Structure 1
Amino acid sequence: MRFAAVWGLPPLLWQLAFFVTPLGFLVAMTFWSVKNFRLIPDATLANWRFILNAGFFRSAYVYTFWLAALTALIASLVAFPAAYTLAYRLKPATRRFLIFMLVVPFFTSYPVRIYSTQIFFSPEGIINALIAPLGFGPVSVLNTPTGTVVGYLVLTLPLVVLLQTFALMNVPKTLIEAAHNLGCGRLRTILTVIVPSARVGLIVAATFTFVLAFGDYVAPLYLGGSKPPTLSILIADQVKSGNHWPRASVVAAIMILTLIVVMTGMLGLAYGRRGGRR
């Protein structure tokens, strides 16, 4: 017991120093005020009332939540065929190589990947140059919600494929063989055996996608044009507008609370039924 406590102390201290303490300071700052562009430690609810009653905040909240949820859905659906192929249809050597190739994008800075995406989707970019001889285009993606979603997918899709692949690989092969022996076709086996068995991993992958997209700042700025603004853009705007860190802290605190609620709900969805059976 003492041995476990000693080894568990460094991570605990790390979390206290670099997560709990900054989070507590962030929450405390939401009750401060700004006078003459200077932060004044206070105990006021004015920042909460201003943000919660502001129409621009409600619009940004709904917009950010919707884009993050849409990205999680698209990434989950697009990644599943690739993950299924990696898990069941390829030789181990080929699978290892492709998994390595999915990891490679994480070696490159995310802003660099976003700048590269701009080259593809700019009005004179690669995609429009390819479709112009066919009589299509130009396709407008930059400075639109579609551009923001594309940026979110650039960030999250490789991770979703990896998580789904590992989840599918952990499904017992005996269950799949039993389904085939009982006359289930491939599609029915996927829907009734593989997906339920890999449910936890699939939900965790979707949850990671939502969390990363909900708080991302780079894609909405450089691909979405920050119009309409997401919550991350709104935080920066509040800081630039009169150096109002307390209002920005309110937006950040609401984002953290939203992520906690979403993650709790998704984990309950992933483990709830299994826990009920026990």
Structure 2
Amino acid sequence: MNIVNRRLDLYALTWRLPIILWQLVFFVGPVVFMVAMSFFVVRNYRMMEAFEFANWERMLTRGFFWDSYWYTLFVASLSATIAMCVAFPAAWALAFRASESVRRWAIFLLVIPFFTSYLVRTFSWYVILAESGVLNAMLGYIGLGPFRMLNTHFGTIVGYLTLTLPLVVILQTVSMANIDKTLVEAARNLGCKPLATIWRVVLPLSKTGFIVAALFCFILAFGDFVAPFYLGGSQEPTLPILILDTTKSGQQWPRAAVVAIMMMLTLFTIAFTAIALAYRKPKGARA
């Protein structure tokens, strides 16, 4: 029996080995090097091996770092909230009102934007949001505008939604489509109003999918460089823009590593907290 178990373990390990090596080479290795690099020093524009906390002290005691940190945290949370609210009506209609074939086609069409470069999609908003662009031209017909939408916080949010909204709609749709429809019908038969049905039946049953969707949206927005740089105009630099500015300032890669590590620690903390909430069983539930 032990020989059989050992053979099974060896067989399983053999198939797991490629993904383990992949993670070690392309994730664990670079992260370890980045942590080590955060203690290096730069002298005469050259990075030298050392073990000093000067980079950490320099970045974590400066107001510009914390301004960028809290702004990035705020704008990523705001974009996740907006994406979840905007996506919900479409996901509800696809999950409960559309037929299965229509739902499949809708999900396929939502995937199509990911076939093109996110940078190309972002630059297309220049034509739409410019002061002489499509949106202002349409508003001009009813006597409004022109409004300044590029190089603003609004432009940043539009860029984030371009990146995340299709994914959020897909995740919400799949999550709600798996709900037993008889439970929704039972709630209605018992006199539950539509909003109460959503709050008491739909959201609890699709909690895991909704939290995962919000988490993906937050992670993508938190680490995105394109939207705040090209559409937001770096009015208030986010952490990815701060990394770029830091590397350009005297080749300070160790200080940029500090910013990147703080971003990773934040994302890991939020991700593990969200996953714990998503899969936490309600009190009184059986294992």
The two structures have a TM-score, normalised by structure 1, of 0.97
* Equivalent position to 2:268, from 237, 260, 268: 260
Cα distance in 2 for partners of 1:275, 1:215 equals 35
1:188-222 per-residue CA deviation (whole Å, 9 max, x = no partner) reads: 21110011000000000000000000000000110
Specify the SS of the correspondent of 2:279: helix
- Superposed, which structure 2 residues align to 1:163-174 within 5 Å? 163-174=171-182
Find the counterpart in structure 1 of residue 140 from structure 2: 132
**How many residues in Structure 1 have an aligned counterpart in Structure 2?**
278
Specify the SS of the correspondent of 1:4: helix
Specify the SS of the correspondent of 1:216: coil
Specify the SS of the correspondent of 2:89: helix
The 4+ residue runs of structure 1 with deviation greater than 3 A are 273-278
When structure 1 is superposed on structure 2, of 267-276 and 94-103 the one drifting more is 267-276
Find the counterpart in structure 1 of residue 159 from structure 2: 151
1:121-174 per-residue CA deviation (whole Å, 9 max, x = no partner) reads: 011100001111211011211111111111000000000000000100111223
Unaligned runs of 5+ in 2: 1-8
Q: What is the Cα-based RMSD across aligned positions, in Å?
A: 1.1
Given residue 70 of structure 2, which amino acid in structure 1 is its aligned partner?
Answer: V
For the pair shown, which has the larger CA radius of gyration, 1 or 2? 2
- Superposed, which structure 2 residues align to 1:77-92 within 5 Å? 77-92=85-100
**Displacement of 1:276 after TM fit?**
7.1
| Distance verdict in 2 for CA 1:219–1:13, change over 3 Å | same
**Pair 1:183 & 2:187 matched:** no
Cα distance in 1 for partners of 2:283, 2:77 equals 26
Cα distance in 2 for partners of 1:66, 1:276 equals 35
Find the counterpart in structure 2 of residue 57 from structure 1: 65
Unaligned runs of 5+ in 1: none
Cα distance in 2 for partners of 1:52, 1:44 equals 14
Cα distance in 2 for partners of 1:248, 1:61 equals 13
Cα distance in 2 for partners of 1:276, 1:83 equals 30
**Displacement of 1:182 after TM fit?**
1.9
Find the counterpart in structure 2 of residue 102 from structure 1: 110
Cα distance in 2 for partners of 1:97, 1:174 equals 25
Given residue 174 of structure 2, which amino acid in structure 1 is its aligned partner?
Answer: F
| Distance verdict in 2 for CA 1:122–1:276, change over 3 Å | farther
Find the counterpart in structure 1 of residue 4 from structure 2: none
Given residue 22 of structure 1, which amino acid in structure 2 is its aligned partner?
Answer: P
Given residue 119 of structure 2, which amino acid in structure 1 is its aligned partner?
Answer: P
**Pair 1:24 & 2:44 matched:** no
Find the counterpart in structure 2 of residue 10 from structure 1: 18
Cα distance in 2 for partners of 1:70, 1:261 equals 18
**Displacement of 1:275 after TM fit?**
7.9
- Superposed, which structure 2 residues align to 1:199-214 within 5 Å? 199-214=207-222
**Pair 1:233 & 2:241 matched:** yes
Cα distance in 1 for partners of 2:70, 2:142 equals 38
Cα distance in 2 for partners of 1:10, 1:258 equals 29
Cα distance in 1 for partners of 2:15, 2:183 equals 39
Cα distance in 2 for partners of 1:254, 1:154 equals 26
